[in-house]
Amino acid sequence: MCKECKNKKPYYITTAITYTSGRPHIGNTYEIILTDAIARYKRQQGFDVFFQTGTDEHGQKIEEKAKEAGVTPKEFVDKVAGIVRKNFDMMNTSYDYFVRTTDDYHEKQVQKIFKKLYEQGDIYKSTYEGLYCTPCESFWTESQLIDGKCPDCGRPVEKASEEAYFFNLQKYASRLIKHIEDHPEFIQPESRKNEMINNFLKPGLQDLCVSRTSFKWGIPVDFDPGHVVYVWIDALSNYITSLGFDADGNHGDLYRKYWPADVHIIGKDILRFHTIYWPIMLMALGEQLPKQVFGHPWLLVGDGKMSKSKGNAIYADELVHYFGVDAVRYFVLHEMPFAQDGTITWDLVVERINSDLANVLGNLVNRTISMQNKYFNGVISNPLEQEDIDKELIALALDTPKRVEKKMETLHVGEAIDEIFTLLKRCNKYIDETTPWVLGKDEAKKDRLATVLYNLLECIRFSAVLLSSYMPETAEKILEELSTSERDADSLKEFGMLECGHTVEGKPEILFARIDAKEFMETLEADRKKEEKAAKKADKKEAKKEDAPVEQIGIEDFTKVELKVGTIISAEKHPKADRLLVEQIDLGEETRQIVSGIAASFSPEDVVGKKVIVVTNLKPVKLRGVESQGMILCASNADDLDIVTIVKDLPNGTKVS
């Protein structure tokens, strides 16, 4: 370790680990951008930051998805973990460690943690009977359901009964309540704290199911191999296992240095797990609790939650393709309120780029450096004493780092960025007040012009140094154009650190060009149509097969077709084809994925729970990139389509003949 790092105060910050069930959208990606901004800011403030993110790779849903894809669970999560990491790298995030819950050390420590909790009486064996949501991997009571469905995701739940181990949460509930009340900063925002205490802790905690026997893709309970460790003990433990936590007490250097975490950054939908289950686990292990858990709001599309199944998801790589990395970072960081949900739409992104990035920031940098080149061949000087109007601008510049710090201390990141843009807007007003283009016409006022431009360039430097936490590439470009080496937080303690005698860049780069909103939306629509056209072309190929003349067959041909009764347990829209639904169908001894061309007549919600007849011995095929392992029987005419269903409640897997 370097001497400099030894003298810095450690700061440990984490994101929730991403579940490896598929490609993350911008709503998922927002979290790591937010965490990265905080981590970068803390580094700039002189902290020794350890920033961790990663992937959650076990569970029933992944086991099922891997089976549907025809690969092993490990092959499946290896691929998705690669996609997640590529997405995070694309957004220029500066994480120090990327954990995977399939890492050997993590798995071994989870087994040791489970065994320790069992041996000290915090975990016991019993039978679980209740309601289970597979997508969320959560158990619920009847009273917790909303309209009979999962309160988190709104999908149907299934009755479940299996032998399981349980964690005695109630044993630690009163201790946790006291900790939360004694540490008001522990759960943020404040509204989330009240929700956890009043809705979960005070009414009384149910013991937590912490093992499963109905699937195999998980960390085995080493003293009872029929069980795998259930998701929350597995996933939550990553925050300490990655640092070298050892359940036997032989902790690694990183753990001794960085734990407890300064802040866990998570989505508000998993706050209960991080502020109730996780602290109780740590109490049972005899370890310190994290200093703070921040449950950030959601990024909505219009007025609805972003979801792949709804077909309204916007992806980070799409946004970057059109707008660039820093424009996307700016938008999601600036537009997300502290405690309320934020909104993203394509036209809103264009509006913010034009108003804030092109007009306020880009225009200021471009015209200031252009004037410095025009009037002084780019050479920086500051020959005169400051006038009153200059002193007002300088006072704001010196105060801005303090204002940003105050907002960042409470994780009001969007408001911190507002403080920087307040300075930038004041610079634009200062240009209008001092009229440098008029000063440039009078040789006797050249010294005054040089001082005015110096004040602008120094304010731009202040802004760029502060923006480096939020828009690192843009900040670097600006500082390069200024040809300055004064780029750290200490250089903002006094005004006038921009080096005189240096020469700014000859021709400033256009940081953010204005976007014609109408032209952009037309381009976006044209791109969408190209995608739809390609999809329809692929669909027509499939349709040709369906329209081929029907040949008469003998009874021996019919007996080759295997038909079975199944229940559709989940469904979602095909990501690349509007007319297709992707269904998961319970066939008794197995669950299959089937892609059906019924989306014009049925929504995903319409088909869940239906008893259908499935052709089970068709060869698997890929329809627009998604594998289909059979076919459901339907009836149709020119005007309508219906699914062939079973009236009686025959067991799934019953043969039809």
- 81-95, 141-155, 351-365, 541-555: the lowest-pLDDT one: 541-555
Residue 307 burial by CB count (10 A; 0-12/13-18/19+): exposed, middle or buried? middle
Binned at pLDDT 50, 70 and 90, residue 635 comes out as: confident
pLDDT score of 308 more than 70: no
Residues 5, 3: Cα–Cα separation, whole Å: 5
Q: At what angle do helices 73-90 and 60-69 cross, to 10 degrees?
A: 100
Q: How does pLDDT run across 523-556, given as a tens digit for each residue?
A: 999 998 888 887 777 666 655 655 556 677 778 7
SS3 62: helix
Q: Which of 421, 316, 319 is nearest to 365 (CA)?
A: 421
**How is 356-378 classified by DSSP, letter by letter?**
IIIIIIIHHHHHHHHHHHHHHTT
Contact 569, 584 (CB under 8 A): yes
Q: What is the pLDDT of residue 135?
A: 74
Q: How does pLDDT run across 333-349, given as a tens digit for each residue?
A: 999 888 888 899 999 99
What is the bridge-based pairing of β-strands 138-140 and 123-133? Answer: antiparallel
Q: How does pLDDT run across 59-95, given as a tens digit for each residue?
A: 988 999 899 889 999 999 999 999 999 999 999 999 9
As a whole-number percent, the residues of the chain with pLDDT over 70 amount to 95
Find tokens 């937080």 and name the residue: 489
To which H or E segment does residue 524 belong? helix 517-547
Mean predicted lDDT score pLDDT of the chain? 91
Contact 83, 21 (CB under 8 A): no
Which residues lie below 8 Å from residue 483, measured CB to CB, with a gap of 6+? 499, 502, 503, 504, 505
Q: Which residues pair with 219 in a beta bridge?
A: 229
Residue 169 burial by CB count (10 A; 0-12/13-18/19+): exposed, middle or buried? buried
Tokens matching residue 304: 């609805």
Q: Could you give the C-alpha distances from 102 to 119, 212, 375, in angstroms and in order? A: 24, 17, 61
SS3 427: helix
Q: Which amino acid is at 365?
A: V
pLDDT score of 638 more than 60: no
Q: At what angle do helices 278-285 and 104-119 cross, to 10 degrees?
A: 70
Contact 296, 13 (CB under 8 A): no
**How is 75-138 classified by DSSP, letter by letter?**
HHHHHHHHHHHHHHHHTT---SEEEETTSHHHHHHHHHHHHHHHHTTSEEEEEEEEEEETTTTE
Confirm or deny that 136 is annotated as ligand binding: yes
To which H or E segment does residue 428 belong? helix 413-434
Contact 130, 180 (CB under 8 A): no
Find tokens 């594998």 and name the residue: 627
Cis, peptide link before residue 401, omega less than 30° from 0: no
CB atoms within 10 A of CB 558: 10
- ∠ CA 40-41-42 to the nearest 5 degrees? 90
Tokens matching residue 424: 């930038």
Residues 376, 369: Cα–Cα separation, whole Å: 10
Strand-by-strand arrangement of the 211-212 sheet: 211-212, 228-229, 219-220
Confirm or deny that 634 is annotated as ligand binding: no
What is the bridge-based pairing of β-strands 97-100 and 48-56? Answer: parallel
Residue 81 burial by CB count (10 A; 0-12/13-18/19+): exposed, middle or buried? buried
First to last CA, the chain: 72
Q: How does pLDDT run across 165-180, given as a tens digit for each residue?
A: 999 999 999 999 999 9
Residues 102, 108: Cα–Cα separation, whole Å: 10
Convert 231-296 into a string of H (helix), E (strand) and C (coil): HHHHHHCHHHHCCCCCCCCCCCHHHHHHCCCCEEEEEHHHHHHHHHHHHHHHHHHCCCCCCCEEEE
Q: Global pTM?
A: 0.80
Residues 468, 92: Cα–Cα separation, whole Å: 12
Contact 158, 569 (CB under 8 A): yes
Q: How does pLDDT run across 392-432, given as a tens digit for each residue?
A: 999 999 999 999 999 999 999 999 999 999 999 999 999 99
φ/ψ of 103, rounded to 5, equals -60, 140
**443 secondary structure, DSSP code:** G
pLDDT score of 142 more than 70: yes
| The dihedral formed by the CA atoms of 128, 129, 131 and 134, expressed in degrees to the nearest 10 | 40
SS3 627: strand
Q: What is the pLDDT of residue 208?
A: 92
What is the bridge-based pairing of β-strands 97-100 and 123-133? Answer: unpaired
Give me the mean pLDDT over the 386-391 stretch: 96
Confirm or deny that 150 is annotated as ligand binding: yes
Tokens matching residue 488: 């750290």
Q: Which of 604, 583, 628, 610 is nearest to 310 (CA)?
A: 604
Q: What is the pLDDT of residue 6?
A: 61
Residues 582, 567: Cα–Cα separation, whole Å: 14
Residues 531, 509: Cα–Cα separation, whole Å: 33
Q: Which of 292, 303, 300 is nearest to 336 (CA)?
A: 300
To which H or E segment does residue 405 belong? helix 388-409
Q: Which amino acid is at 248?
A: D
pLDDT score of 261 more than 60: yes
Q: What is the pLDDT of residue 333?
A: 97
Q: What is the pLDDT of residue 1?
A: 45
Q: Which of 508, 368, 481 is nearest to 431 (CA)?
A: 368
Q: Which of 27, 74, 33, 36 is nearest to 55 (CA)?
A: 74
Which residues lie below 8 Å from residue 120, measured CB to CB, with a gap of 6+? 284
Confirm or deny that 209 is annotated as ligand binding: no
